[in-house]
Amino acid sequence: MTTQKKPKNIDVNKTTSPQQFDYDAVVIGTGPGGEGAAMGLAKTGLKVAIIEKHSAVGGGCTHWGTIPSKALRQSVSQLIDFNHNPLFSENSREMHITFPQILKHAEGVIRQQTHLRSSFYKRNRVSLLKGEASFIDKHTIQITHEDGSSQSITAKTIVIATGSRPYRPADVDFNSGRVYDSDTVLSLRHDPRTIIIYGAGVIGSEYASIFRGLGVKVDLINTRERLLAFLDNEISDAISYHLGNSGTVIRNGEEYASITQEKDGVVLKTKSGKRFKADCLLFANGRTGNTDKLNLSAVGLKADGRGQLKVDRHYQTDIDNIYAVGDVIGYPSLASAAYDQGRLAANFITQGETHSHLVDDIPTGIYTIPEISSVGKTEQELTAAKIPYEVGKAQFKHLARAQIANSTIGGLKILFHPESKEILGIHCFGTAASEIVHIGQAIMQQKGSANTVEYFINTTFNYPTMAEAYRVAALNGLNRLF
């Protein structure tokens, strides 16, 4: 991030300025980043508008990304639990549900989320404007409506929160009817028996779990040598094992040479000479920032090769009255972080210099089957930095609650400093991992002696619970010290 000088901030008690604008602030995009910015600005009394090019609010998070994929995953996870539950499987045959059928549940969740998010703007008197936004100058935006008409609005401050979309290489035909990306796969209306997933990042791995859980044969093509290599190695190995054990075939270190459609399927050929054939292909390798239609050149801004904008620590671009938040600025590209970025940008716009910032340790949640979540450092990061650490582990199969729920796969790992006992990392694999990790995160955020692994043995947990894994892991780790 580049460092910019402090802007002239908006006086929330002043309704006029040397130049009269239609709005004090305009936000482009209604995803988590745009929502966080709009709510933060509106609650200080500013006149705010938000622009959305799609028919409903929520952005990619609500309509094509986080919400639908997690809703699909939940349905498939419940199906797997039903088919493997001895209470049901002994006297009934295995249930089969198709991808289009589980999409109905996701569509219902999307409707509820859209209605909820729309109510936020109404309640906070934020003007919702529909259409495609593009810059005329640093204070003026043109909105092109679906019917071709347009209007121009002015604002003192503008926040870009346009999100991202799946990367589509020019040599892949996405109009063939058999090749999808993570947005268009939600329009899949047939029941494939086989699928190739190209790209084994978070999105590819999550969809591999979803399709394999539906009984679809999955070839997962990983362009890297290790699955989800940013994770702690032990967790990466665990998800690789469980995906493989479920029947997913993982091909590491492969890149496509060509993707072609045939009469009865789609064929992917790798640069190493391998060929794969399936009913359809999901291309899930990278994303691009949605900046190409903003006419950035009109204000002197330029996106990088991935469509992303550079900002400083206050999310201010090179143009003093224009800010950017969310996927459009790159890392960490998380819905949770995007909302906070929008909120922090709004704080700076209205208050000037602030000391608020994103937490240093942002939790990661990956909704594969089983689920993954982590916060803090991995073992390999600590080793590379020459920071001594000890490991405490708890296996879910030893917890009464996991046995009761028949959710015995996975476990919890705590990394801590052997002398200070400071918690350095939490890594969880298994049912409700993304919930469980927040207990450790809360303690990690404490200062001084409050952030030690000993907290978990000096407190009392409900019994039986999955949270009890913290006590088990803490005792396991402390017993290793000498």
- Looking only at the bridges linking them, the beta strands covering 410-416 and 423-430 are antiparallel
| CB contact at 8 A, 73 and 56 | no
Binding site for FAD, by residue number, is 52-61
Residue 425's closest CA among 466, 375, 475, 463?
375
CA 309 to chain centre: 19
Helices assigned H by DSSP within 268-417 = 335-351, 379-384, 400-405
Query: How distant is the alpha carbon of residue 42 from its chain centre?
Result: 26
| Locus of tokens 């089957």 | 369
Q: CA dist 150 to 78, 143, 461, Å?
A: 47, 5, 59
Element (H, E) at 237: helix 233-245
Instruction: Record the tokens describing residue 373, joined without a space.
Output: 């979540």
From residue 174, how far is each of 166, 184, 194 by CA, in Å?
11, 9, 18
327-354 exposure pattern, b = at least 16 Cβ within 10 A, e = fewer: bbbbeebbbbbbbbbbbbbbbbbbeeee
Q: Which amino acids are annotated as binding site, given as ranges?
A: 52-61
Q: Which structure tokens are listed for 52? A: 């959305």
What is the C-alpha separation between 158 and 231, in angstroms, rounded?
36
The tokens describing 231, both together, are 């994770």
